[in-house]
C-alpha cells in the first residue's frame, strides 16, 4: 500500500486528487493539508511514502516545505512530487534543488498521476529522460553555481562520466551502451555517485552535475532550439 499526503491550498483540487487516489487499489490517502507548514507537520506525523505538494501556496510555499521535509533525517524515505500549473518553470528547478523527486502538471492525465506516484514510491525520480532534456534546455543555460555545489572530487572517473551522461538525459541502458558496460554496472555507478553526493535521487544528481560545472550548460540559443 502506497501512503500519500496531499498538500494544496485549493480544497477542490485536493478533493479531486483524493477521489482519484481512493478509487485506486494499492494507494491510500492518509492526510490533507492546505499549506506548506501544515503539510510538513502532517508528513512528520504520518510519514507517508509520497507527498503531492503544490508549488505555490499562501504562507509557507511548496518549495520551502519540500526543503524542510528533505532536511529531516526521520523523513529520508518520504518522496515529494511537486504539482504545478506552469510546466517547466523556475519553481520546478528550485523544487528539484530543494529535494523534490519530480513534478507533475495539475492537468496531467489520471494514469500519469498514478504512474508517477508508483515511480517515486519505489525510489526512482519522476523525471523521464525526455523531461530531463527539456529541463536542461529550459534552466541550465546559466553559469554553474560552484559556491553552493557539492564537491565532485569524491567521485571516481567512471562515476563522473555516468553522472555527466545522466545529466544529459540518458537512461541507464543508453549510458551502458555509450560506455560499453552493462546496464546493471551503469546503475551501480549512478547509485554510488548519488550516495557520495548525498543526492536523494536521480533528479538531484542532474542538478548537482550542472551546478558543479561537471556538465556545461548549453547556450540559450541551443536551449531554445532543443538541441
CA–CA separation, 136 and 182 (whole Å): 26
- According to the model, what pLDDT value does residue 123 have? 73
- Confidence check: pLDDT of 126 > 80: no
Number of Cβ within a 10 Å radius of residue 106 = 17
Tell whether the model's pLDDT for residue 112 goes beyond 80: yes
Torsion of CA 105, 111, 113, 117, to 10 degrees: -150
47 Cβ contact list (under 8 Å, min separation 6): 74, 75, 77, 78
Give Dmax over CA atoms of the chain in angstroms. 51
- The answer, yes or no, to whether residue 4 has pLDDT greater than 90, is yes
Q: Which residues contact 32 (CB under 8 A, 6 or more apart)?
A: 5, 6, 7, 8, 14, 18, 42
Helix, strand, coil shares, percent, the chain, to 5: 50, 15, 35
Report the candidate in 215, 214, 216 with the shortest Cα–Cα distance to residue 152: 214
Contacting residues for 141 by C-beta, under 8 A, at least 6 apart:
217, 218, 219, 220, 222, 223
Q: CA–CA separation, 212 vs 59, rounded Å? A: 32
Q: Which residue has the cell 506525523?
A: 45
Mean pLDDT confidence for 38-56: 95
pLDDT at 18: 95
- At 88, is the pLDDT very low, low, confident or very high (cuts 50, 70, 90)? low
Q: What is the pLDDT of residues 133-188, one digit of tens each?
A: 566 555 555 544 555 555 678 899 999 999 989 887 788 889 999 999 999 999 99
Which residue(s) pair with 33 in the sheet? 7
∠ CA 222-220-198, rounded to 5°: 95
Give the integer Cα–Cα distance in Å for 20 and 116. 13
State the DSSP code for 8. -
Amino acid at each position: 500500500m502506497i501512503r500519500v499526503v496531499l498538500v494544496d491550498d485549493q480544497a477542490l483540487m485536493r478533493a479531486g486528487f483524493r477521489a482519484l487516489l481512493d478509487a485506486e487499489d494499492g494507494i491510500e490517502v492518509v492526510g490533507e493539508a492546505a499549506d506548506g507548514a501544515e503539510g510538513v507537520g502532517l508528513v512528520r506525523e504520518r510519514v507517508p511514502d509520497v507527498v503531492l505538494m503544490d508549488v505555490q501556496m499562501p504562507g509557507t510555499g511548496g518549495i520551502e516545505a519540500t526543503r524542510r521535509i528533505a532536511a529531516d533525517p526521520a523523513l529520508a524515505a518520504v518522496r515529494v512530487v511537486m504539482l504545478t500549473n506552469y510546466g517547466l518553470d523556475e519553481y520546478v528547478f528550485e523544487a528539484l534543488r530543494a529535494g523534490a523527486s519530480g513534478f507533475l502538471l495539475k492537468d496531467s492525465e489520471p494514469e500519469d498521476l498514478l504512474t508517477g506516484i508508483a515511480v517515486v514510491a519505489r525510489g526512482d525520480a519522476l523525471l523521464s529522460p525526455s523531461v530531463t532534456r527539456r529541463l536542461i534546455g529550459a534552466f541550465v543555460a546559466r553559469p554553474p553555481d560552484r559556491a553552493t555545489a557539492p564537491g565532485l572530487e569524491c567521485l571516481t572517473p567512471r562515476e563522473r562520466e555516468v553522472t555527466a551522461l545522466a545529466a544529459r538525459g540518458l537512461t541507464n541502458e543508453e549510458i551502458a551502451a555509450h560506455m560499453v558496460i552493462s546496464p546493471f554496472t551503469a546503475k551501480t555507478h549512478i547509485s554510488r555517485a548519488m550516495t557520495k553526493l548525498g543526492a536523494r535521487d536521480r533528479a538531484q544528481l542532474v542538478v548537482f552535475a550542472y551546478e558543479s560545472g561537471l556538465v556545461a550548460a548549453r547556450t540559450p540559443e541551443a536551449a531554445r532550439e532543443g538541441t
